[in-house]
Homo-oligomer: A and B are copies of this chain.
Amino acid sequence: MLNDSALTDPAPLFAALGDRTRLSLLAKLSDGESRSIAGLSSDTDITRQAVTKHLKVLEDAGLVISKKVGRESQFAFRPEPINDIRAYLDSVSRQWDDALGRLRAFVER
């Protein structure tokens, strides 16, 4: 089942990003090249199976997509959810900025 990238609840998205291993997987893939599990596992110290699990978390969050090609499955970065997160952060910051603005307006009289 593929993710809808709905911005209703950003928590799972943040959670998917809240792990160093997954961030470094994303970093590798963010150059736009797709890579196999073996390719992504080569320069880590954890097992290939562990990498597979992390990739599943990333895929469930919509941050990567995968397709089987031959005997290997290729993973690629999917940037859309990043915008959802940005939108969420913006909404929080905007609320904060508005509050600051009102406070300033209040103090300045």
Contact = CB atoms under 8 A, between A and B. Distances in A.
Given A92-B82, A95-B31, A96-B32, A18 B15 contact: yes
The number of chain A residues touching the other chain, given as a range, is: 20 to 34
A100 B15 contact: no
Contacts of A33: 99
Interface in A87-109: 89, 92-93, 95-96, 99-100, 102-103
A33 B17 CA distance: 29
A25 to B, nearest CB: 12
Interface stretch (A5-13, A40-48, A64-72): A5-13
Interface of A: 9-20, 23, 26-27, 30-33, 77, 79, 82, 85-86, 89, 92-93, 95-96, 99-100, 102-103
